[in-house]
Chains A and B, each alone.
Chain A
Amino acid sequence: MAEVGELGKVQVRSAVQPDAKPMIELRKVNKWFGALHVLRDVSLTVRERERVVVCGPSGSGKSTMIRCINRLETHQEGQIIVDGIELTDDLRNIDAIRREVGMVFQSFNLFPHLTILENCTLAPIWVRKMPKKEAEELAMEFLTRVRIPEQAKKYPGQLSGGQQQRVAIARALCMRPKIMLFDEPTSALDPEMIKEVLDVMVELAESGMTMVVVTHEMGFARTVADRVVFMDRGEVVEVGPPKEFFGNPRSERLRTFLSQILGH
């Protein structure tokens, strides 16, 4: 696998088949917070096994966009189709989509009153109706994959931020989702912990997971992204493979953004 020290130098091979079906489709999505127009005609298609990194200045609507995909936010105009199901007010559709879409948050959002193992087994047991023993074996498998099986009996409050975020990834994976959404997964972490989380995400990318990642980690974008999306003021300004995106930005806004974020 690619060492994070070399993030951006080694490219994880794309896993997208040429005829891959679209997993997420946003068609002219619009959203307002009160009178504030936060998503403006956002259109984006993510195909099976594709890895899309979304970046942009704060307030650009990237988090809102990703949160619309599993209906943590509702859009007001346009269409969002996930795994062939259109997101409407129909609760059955929302539940069906949430079962297939895993999400990792900036602030981890582990359940503090449950152990690490219980955090991971809760949804498989209650939502997937999996027997407890089977759910625990599955959870241990994923906790091993994120390299913290020895913490299974502890509570979230006893773990470091990086460990908590890896548990959050394992918790989402225990639902065996088809798509993983990451909403700034490393923004709340101390610098020395960012690497351990990115390592896990790179591994996940190598396994062929369909991923949408909102992040400021440009090294990660270079390493794993099939395409990078730049959003600004609620619109998708530019989309392209990392080489072109970073090497040859077409819009002035992206050039300014890249010089700010990479310049220091």
Chain B
Amino acid sequence: MTPPSAEAATLGAAPAIERRPPSFALGPIAWLRANLFSSWLSTAVTLLLAYFLVSWTLSFLNWAVVNAIWDVPGTGQQVDTSACRAARGEGACWALIGEKYRFILFGLYPFDEQWRPALVVVIFVALYVISAMRRFWRKELALIWLAALTAIGVLMWGGVFGLPYVEQERWGGLVITLILATFGIAFAFPLSILVALGRRQTSMPAVKALCVVYIELIRGVPLISLLFMASVMFPLFLPEGMNIDKLLRAQIAIILFAAAYLAEVVRGGLQAIPKGQYEAADALGLTYWQKTGLIILPQALKISIPPLVNTFIGMFKDTSLVLIIGIYDLLNTAKTSIIEPAWQGFGVEAYLFVAAIYFVFCFAMSKYSQDLERELDKGRRR
């Protein structure tokens, strides 16, 4: 009789015991060893990069905090920036921001009325927060938007409720950026969905052709040229005496531009939906708009969240291009704030300040989209 092999011995015995993985595969030390110090080369690269990271961080902190100048004597025309000039290259001149932040944020809006654009910024942020929460996703949200936008219009223009009238040419800064981006997205997104749906209408060639021409024409030119057209050429076509204000024209150009890009993103999502979903909806007797609104778009838009948010973020920053047609958005006010001789040369500080503001908004969008994706995925994974 042959002795039982190892294999035979385990067969039919008690079920294999569940064990923890060996200790070298778990814990932070194991992670470090596997990812940072797995060979002499990777150890060398890790140490080199760590050195650069630490030394760069230290020198930045030196410039931005330790040697920074937070205050300078004098104000307005009498300001004395010699301390800042002496520290050039050694320490940041944050005194610039202290002196100019009202101008950077609100532009030429009358100084005593600047609480109004400040309140508008707060309303905008509140609007974003409410719209971001899924439990507010119902019909009433449209009313909230309408109310908020009316309040924003009243606050910005004034002329009613004892608020002095402020003409649109004096608006500027963060409010302009938020207006252009918010209205841009709020109008471009629905428009893009219609265009994307239109482009897929094989049974309606005229509609399809119109959508294709729109997308290709708008995508084929730079945003700057559209803004120029809106600002310079468009008024030539208007009848004598009629005038649409410059901000509105820029706003329309941004909406049309963004919608063309978004339409292609949405179309990508639509194409990812299997034919069977359309057929199942048809077989149940749903109409075209029921099928589209209840079955196709919820799935297509969910798939499109990453590229959609990508485009939204791009759009948010593209609003800064309006500076070339003389609209004072956030970037333009920052650029203008260092135009006085006393403050010339402190561009890094001004641009870092607005970059931080842009970053907060863009990063919030990005973070929110990740959370939304995760939430919509909950319990639906195979």
Chain B residues with Cβ under 8 A from A111's Cβ?
277, 280-281, 295, 299
Instruction: Name the CB-closest residue of B to A105.
Output: B276
Contact A95 B277 (CB under 8 A): no
Q: What is the CB-to-nearest-CB distance from A170 to chain B, in angstroms, rounded to a whole number?
A: 12
Contacts of A175 in B (CB 8 A): 284-285
Q: Is A127 within 8 A of B285, CB to CB? A: yes
Interface locus among A3-11, A40-48, A153-161? A153-161
Question: Within 8 Å of chain B (Cβ to Cβ): is A99?
Answer: yes
Q: Mark A63-92, 1 if CB is under 8 A from B, else 0.
A: 000000011100000000000000000000
Please report the C-alpha to C-alpha distance between residue A98 and residue B279 in the assembled complex, in whole angstroms: 11
CB neighbours of B277 from chain A (8 A): 109, 111
B382 touches A70 (CB 8 A): no
B380 close to chain A: CB less than 8 A: yes
Interface residues of A in 105-124 (CB under 8 A from B): 105, 107, 109-113, 122-123
Q: Does A213 make an interface contact (CB < 8 A)?
A: no
CB < 8 Å neighbour of A126 from B274, B279, B294, B302:
B294
Could you say which residues of chain A place their CB within 8 Å of the CB of B299?
A: 111-113
Q: Does A56 contact B (CB under 8 A)?
A: no
**Residue among A102, A126, A171 with max Cβ neighbours from chain B (10 Å):** A126
Inter-chain contacts of A102 with B (CB < 8 A): 283
Residues A98 and B285 in contact, CB atoms below 8 Å apart: yes
Q: Which residues of A contact B287 (CB under 8 A)?
A: 95
Interface centre among B274, B276, B381 (most CB of A within 10 A): B276
Q: Count chain B residues whose beta carbon lies closer than 8 angstroms to a beta carbon of A.
A: 23
Residue among B284, B290, B295, B379 making CB contact with A155, cutoff 8 Å? B379
- Structural contact, A155 and B283, CB atoms closer than 8 A: no
**In the bound complex, what is the Cα–Cα distance between A101 and B282 (angstroms)?**
11
Cα–Cα, bound, A126→B291 (Å):
10
Answer yes or no: A29 CB below 8 A from chain B CBs: no
Bound Cα distance from A95 to B294, whole angstroms: 17
Known: A98-B284, A175-B284. A157 touches B380 (CB 8 A): yes
Q: How many Å lie between the Cα of A158 and that of B378 in the bound state?
A: 11
Find out whether the CB atom of A123 lies under 8 angstroms from the CB atom of B381.
Answer: no
Chain B binding site: helix, strand, loop or mixed by DSSP?
Answer: helix
- A126–B290 CB distance below 8 A: yes
A110–B279 Cα distance when bound, in Å, is: 11
Closest to B284 in A: A123
Partner of A123, one of B274, B286, B302, B376: B286
Contact for B283 among A98, A112, A154, A157, CB less than 8 A: A98
**Interface contact B280-A112, CB-CB below 8 Å:** no
Kindly state whether residue B298 has any CB partner on chain A within 8 Å.
yes
Are B380 and A155 in contact, CB atoms less than 8 angstroms apart? yes
Complex Cα distance A171/B283, Å? 11
State whether A112 touches B279 (Cβ < 8 A): no
Residue in B281, B285, B302 whose CB lies within 8 Å of A113? B302
Asked if residues A99 and B282 are in contact (CB atoms below 8 Å), the reply is no
Q: Which residues of A contact B281 (CB under 8 A)?
A: 111
What is the CB-to-nearest-CB distance from B186 to chain A, in angstroms, rounded to a whole number?
24
A103 interface hit (Cβ, 8 Å)? yes
Q: Could you tell me the distance between the alpha carbons of A105 and B380 in the complex, rounded to whole angstroms?
A: 21
Cα A251 to Cα B380 in complex, Å, equals: 49
Whole-angstrom distance between the Cβ of B90 and the nearest chain A Cβ: 57
In residues 258-287 of chain B, which contact A (Cβ within 8 Å)?
Answer: 274, 276-277, 279-287
Which residue of chain B is the closest to A127 with respect to CB atoms?
Answer: B285
Cross-chain contact B290 with A72 (CB below 8 angstroms): no
The distance in angstroms between the C-alpha atoms of A101 and B285, with both chains bound, is 9
Closest to A171 in B: B284
Question: Which single member of A105, A127, A154 contacts B379 (CB below 8 Å)?
Answer: A154
B276 touches A126 (CB 8 A): no
Determine which of B274, B282, B302, B379 lies in contact with A158 in the assembled complex, contact meaning CB atoms within 8 Å: B379
Alpha-carbon separation in the docked complex, A26 to B281 (Å): 24
Q: Quick one: which of A2-35 are within 8 Å of B by CB?
A: none
Contact of A98 with B282 at beta-carbon distance under 8 Å, contacts A111-B295, A112-B299 already known: yes
CB distance from A188 to the nearest CB of B (A): 11
Encode B344-379 as 1/0 by CB contact (under 8 A) with A. 000000000000000000000000000000001001
Interface string of B284-325 (1 = CB under 8 A from A): 111100100011001100100000000000000000000000
Bound-complex Cα distance A135 to B287 (A): 19
Within the assembled complex, what's the spacing in Å between the Cα atoms of A107 and B294?
20
Given contacts A127-B285, A157-B380, contact A109 B276 (CB under 8 A): yes
19 A–B contacts, CB within 8 A, in A order:
A70-B283, A72-B279, A98-B283, A98-B285, A99-B285, A107-B274, A109-B276, A111-B281, A112-B299, A112-B380, A113-B302, A122-B284, A123-B284, A126-B290, A127-B285, A154-B379, A157-B380, A172-B283, A175-B284
Show the binding face of A for B, using Cβ within 8 Å: 70-72, 95, 98-99, 101-103, 105, 107, 109-113, 122-123, 126-127, 154-155, 157-158, 171-172, 175
